[in-house]
Each structure stands twice: as structure tokens, then as C-alpha cells.
Chains A and B, each alone.
Chain A
Amino acid sequence: MHDVSVPFYRRVEDALQKTRMRQAVQHTSLRAMESRRAAIAELDASDAVRDAARAIRSRTLAALDRHLDTFVENVERNGGTVFFAETGGDAVDYVRRLARDRGVKTIVKGKSMVSEEIELNPVLEGDGMEVVETDLGEFIVQLDNDRPSHIVAPILHKTKEDCARVFKEKLGASDEDVAGVPQMTQLARRVLRSAFLRADMGITGVNFGVAETGSVCICTNEGNGRLSSSLPRIHVAIMGMERLVPTAADLGVMLEVLGRSGTGQRLTVYSNVLSGPRRAGGDGQAGEPDGPEEFHVVIVDNGRSEILAGELAEILYCIRCGACLYACPVYQQIGGHAYGSVYSGPVGSVLSPALSGIHEFHDLPHASTLCGNCREVCPVRIDLPRMLLRLRAKGVEAGVSPVWITSGMKVLGWLGTRPAMFAMAGRVSARLAGFLAKDGWITSMPGHLSGWTASRDFPAPATESFQERWARRHGGRS
């Protein structure tokens, strides 16, 4: 799920050097924000719709065990098979055993963040199976041995020249094949169409599971989700356990906000709802002419029930639209890779440490200015800043904060409870800072403090402290 072998600050520094990547991310983020704004504004009472969507998520999670039970019952009624995977490993094992058992050689995949989270592809490939990502962006990521940098737009960090290079290097494409975006799209269509026609198994993610009908809903624009779930003999849908909505009516509300928030569309091109394998005929009645023979849903926990049980349960309201990534000033600067997790941006900064533990991702909650833009754009109004702050506190409690912060805070706490010492320390540091200031600005500070002034100037402190001023004006009354 992650790449945290290099420290976060180093990853950020690396990202900031990649000028082309940063331009690509900023360009796309700003365009996406604009189309999202326009699409949301179309709704008469967009705030009320978002409140309704939030209420659905909240109600569903508060009784998730019951809704999951109803869901399982109805998937089975439709002729499907369900497996509850407590860990990512359990989910991988289930898919692997199924694929081996059915003699699967080629697997086509629709976009699935959970499958990246549980690192499914390497295991299946290790078993000698051909695994083909079919979302255009994910296909390019796979060809280039890269990683997705946005949950909805996986190659946000790549320019079209980057994509052309990948197609030429990995597929031997001609100059005409990569002359423009439409040409590259048609090239990918040709290559992937043959994979669809020979595949034995299709694996997709799930946007929403519907409890009352036992269905999974997959939203795509390209149609690869439809092909992956319809053409191969076996369809496996991998679903994070929080993805449920209770009813078809609830699904309708969620679909109204997902496309608008995610890509600025009123609806994604295909809202594809699957209820079991193809229906057989009988009693003189014909069956369905196509569709898979087998339909499996793998419900993935992998740390979610622990989140559900705690004070960060609200992060499970997320419908993975990606709007908070585009809206985040930090994400806009560093892109998705620097986060070192499948889930980046504000939602990733909460979800990654919540799923994997604060030790591995303790830096991410600090990758935020707490400006609140993420909460502002969220279609289900998740209070991301609240959770980022909570995780920062957890980092301190777990002792994973940098020593200079924890010891610095101790010193500050000690001083803060001793007014005379505090006043003196204030006077001393103001004098010292005064020596460093030139024309009212401090442009460089020594030692550990140099980080403050490396990329910005610091205003010189007032010559008189607040306490001194108060004493002077109020004649010593406190």
C-alpha cells in the first residue's frame, strides 16, 4: 500500500523539484475545481443535497452490521457469492484461490483503490497470471511501473508527452499512434479490447453496494468497468466494507453528488449496477444472453472496523470522489506520490494513518495548512481538519513526533507556568532576534531554526513584549 522508506520531508523536497509534474498537477487541479464548482452550483439546494448524502452515510455506518447482513442475503438471493475478508491478506488469498481453482490465465481489472491497498496484482502475477489494468490512466501507470497519484485521475502527474513516451517504449507505438490524446486513446482501446476478449476473470472495485437489492454499483466514464464485469466468465467485485447504502433510493442521492464532485459531471457516463451472475432461463423462458457465470463480492475490512469503532469513523463516510485532493493547497504543490500511500491528499492524510497505524504515517496529518478547503468541497461534509488535528495529537501521544517538537513543547510548558521566567525569556529572545533582523525582517536564522527562513522571511519581533506594554499602560495591574 505504501512507500515510506524515504522520510516524508525528503519525499516532499523531491516532489518540489519536479517542475513539470507540479505544473501538470496544478493545471489539472484548477480545471477540475472549476468544473466541480459549476456542476455543484446547478443543484438548486446543493447544501441540502450534501446534507442528505451525509445523513445517508452516517445512518448506514451506524448500523453497518445490519446493512451488511441484508446485503449478503440479497447477493446470495441473486445467485452471487460473498466473502468477508478481515485482512488484506485474506482478500488476496480468496481471489488467488478462486483464480487458480478456475484455471484463470488472464485477468482484466477495472479501477479499484482497495485492490491497490491490499496489493493484489503482484500476488496474481507471481502465480503466472496476466493481470491487465484497463482504466486508461491505470493502464499507463502499469506499463510505466509507476504508481497512481490521485484516486480518480491516476496519471494527474503525467503530461501527454510522458504518456506518449510510455506507449512508444512499452508498446512500440509509432509517432502517429501517439500524435495526440485521441490517437493514444484509440491505441489503448485496440490493445485492451483484445485483453477483454481473452480474459477469464474481471476484477473491479465498487463505488456503492446496495443492501436491499444485493447489488454493487460501479461508476466509470470509459466503460472498462462494464466490460470487466460483463465479458469474462467470472466477475469479482472488491468492496471496502463501508461502501454500502441501504436502499436504491439512497443510491440515487449518492449518484447525484459523486459525479458532480469527482469530475464535474452531472452523472458519470456509466452508472453500472450488477446484481448477481447472468440469469438463467427455465420453464420455457429464455435466460439472459450474456454476462458472467459467476459473481463474487469480497468485502474488505483490513482495519476498517477498528476505524469504525473509534473517533475517526467519520472518515469512512468518504465516497472517494477526489475533490479534497484537488482543493488542497498542499496536494496542489506536491502531488500524490509524496504522501507515500495509495490514498493521498487530505483524505489520505487521515485514512492512511487510520488504516496502517500512526507510526507509519505520522507525518501525513501535518501535510495540511488546516485551511478547511477540503471540508468545504466534500460532498458528504467530512470534517477533515478535525481529524487531522486529532491524529496530530495521537502522534504526540504515541511518541512519534520529532524530538525537537516534543522537547520544545515541554520547555514552552515549563516556561508558560512560570510568569517571571516567561517574561524574561520573551525579553531575551526578542533582543536576540533583534540582532538578526535587518530593516525589520529576519532573513536567516542559525542552526535548527534555519528551516523557518529557508524559503521565507520572518518579521522582526516588537522591541517591547506584550507583557511589558501591558505593565506600562495599566500601571502594573494584571
Chain B
Amino acid sequence: MTPQNRARMREVVGRAVRTGLFPGGAGPDDTGHGHGTNEAGVDTLPMAAIPGTASAAAPAKGLPPIERFTAALEALAGTVHRARSLQDVVEIVVAQAGRLRATQILAWSDEAIGLPGLTAALAARGLACIAGDIPQPNGPARTEALATLAQIPLGLTGADAGFSETGTVVLATGPGRPRMASLLVPTHIAILRVDRLVDSVSTLLATRRDLVDAGSNFVCITGPSRTADIEHTLSRGVHGPGDVHVILLDA
């Protein structure tokens, strides 16, 4: 942003703010008009003061987190698996790959998933994990990489958190964590450690601001891709994965 453009923004919006009427709130706060650090700009909202945001969805109320998560995701036509070990995870992934006749998996790195030896164990069962690097400059290499990735039927990722209220998995990008592993593929498997389950999106965001901009992309995924644009009729797998599996891994 050019300094002129920024000065203009401050002037135009600043002038408007000084005369506007904003009913229903606490009114303008008194931290002044200094722009400044993140901290100075933060208006924190005490989440504990809002009953309901962090509370259970009515139908599943009273259930333990894992059961709530399972009920919520299954209601959206997602699938939940339970695993206690690396070996359990491998068996589940191999079974899904077999169903899809997949030989390649667009996958996060072992380090990113947090399961050392996963890639090697899958390779031993005939499944190749593809890292999914997309070259930056436009050209044949990029086009070729995209064409290859677009053919892979299965994606495998870890998860940084999950919401038991909604059956959501939370993914932050970073090295070894391609966005496409949860997006370009028709079937997505996410591995979520059960100790990373929290109630809901408002609970997580109230405490884990660091996750939000840890990478260039932070995404909360709640079930399979879907649309109801035509006559409010539900249809799955319109752009993202139409088939979503979550492996709940006991910590």
C-alpha cells in the first residue's frame, strides 16, 4: 500500500467514524486513534461471558467429546475411525486406498502429521506418498505438477485441532503441509489426536490465535464439500472432497 493510499484511507474512514451512530455496542473504545501494534488493536471479548458459544449442540449434549465429534461428523455423511497406534492408522489408510484403487496418496509429511515412519509403512504396503509441491513460476513444470496432482484419488493430512460440537478438523499450512491434500482429492483422510479436541470454533479461536496465522492458510473443515444451490437439495463433492474420513488417534 502506498503511503498516500494509506493516508487517504485513514482520513476518509476516520472522518466517517467520528460522526457515525453505532447503536447497541459499548461505543467507541478509548484506546485512541493511534495505529500500532497488534496488542494495541486488540479488543478482547471475554468468551466465558457468553454462555452458549462454547456449549454443546442440543442433540449431543452430555456426550463425551469423542462421541459428540463422531455424531456430528456422521450426521454430515463423514466417517470416523478409531486408532491406537501407527499400525492401526496404516491399516485404515490401506483399506481406503484399496477401495479407491489408489497407488498414490497426496500426503502431509510424517513430521507434519506427527507420525514418524508413516510414509515408510505405507510404502511397504505399495502406497506412494506424494509431497505435492507446486512450482511457483508459470511454465511446463507447474502445469505438469498440477496435472499429476489432479489425478490422485486420496489425500492424507494431520490436524491441529478438532471441534467436538461440529465434527470439524482444523488444518494450518506450513512446510510439508500442502493445502491440496485436503482439497484437490475426492477423498480426504485426516488424522486427529483426541487430545486436540476442543468444544467449538469460538473456544479454539479465543485461545489459539497463534494457529490462525501460523501459515498462509488456516482452515476449519466441517464434513464433505457440499452445495444446496439447486432447489435447496443437498449434493456432495462439488469442488472439494465428497468423502471425508477422520481417524481419531488416542494420544
Contacts and interface: CB of A to CB of B under 8 A. Distances in A.
Interface string A8-20: 0000000000000
Interface residues of B, number: 107
A377 interface: no
A188 B47 CA distance: 41
Interface stretch (A205-213, A363-371, A444-452, A459-467): A205-213
B57 A52 contact: no
B99 interface: no
B6 A72 contact: yes
A137 B229 contact: yes
Judged by DSSP, the binding face of B is: loop
Contacts of A86: 8, 12
A43 B31 CA distance: 33
B223 A247 contact: no
A57 interface: yes
Given A84-B8, A272-B217, A45 B238 contact: no
A44 B55 contact: yes
Contact of B212 (A46, A229, A273): A273
B225 A83 contact: no
Interface in A252-297: 252-253, 255-256, 263, 265-279, 281, 285-291, 293, 295
Interface string B1-31: 1000110111011111111111111111101
B50 A273 contact: no
Interface in B119-170: 131-134, 136, 138, 146-147, 150, 163, 165-166, 168
Interface string B213-230: 101111111111111111
Contact of B25 (A28, A57, A140): A57
A83 B174 contact: no
B41 A279 contact: no
Contacts of A73: 35
Contacts of B238: 136, 185, 188-189, 221-224
A309 interface: yes
Contacts of B230: 136-137, 140, 155, 158, 160, 163, 181, 184-185
A42 B199 CA distance: 14
A101 to B, nearest CB: 14
A305 interface: yes
Interface stretch (A74-82, A328-336, A342-350, A468-476): A74-82
A275 B58 contact: no
Contacts of A127: none
Contacts of B50: 45, 48-49, 52, 253
Contacts of B201: 252, 255-256, 267, 271
30 contacts: A28-B232, A58-B22, A58-B24, A58-B27, A66-B35, A69-B6, A70-B40, A76-B1, A82-B1, A135-B229, A136-B227, A137-B229, A181-B230, A182-B236, A200-B138, A222-B226, A252-B53, A252-B201, A252-B202, A253-B47, A255-B220, A256-B202, A273-B218, A274-B217, A289-B177, A290-B179, A293-B136, A305-B15, A308-B17, A309-B15
Given A48-B51, A65-B17, 9 more contacts: A43-B55, A193-B150, A250-B45, A256-B202, A268-B222, A278-B216, A286-B175, A289-B175, A309-B17
Interface of B: 1, 5-6, 8-10, 12-29, 31, 33-36, 38, 40-45, 47, 49-53, 55, 57-59, 72, 131-134, 136, 138, 146-147, 150, 163, 165-166, 168, 173-180, 183-184, 200-206, 208-209, 212-213, 215-233, 235-241
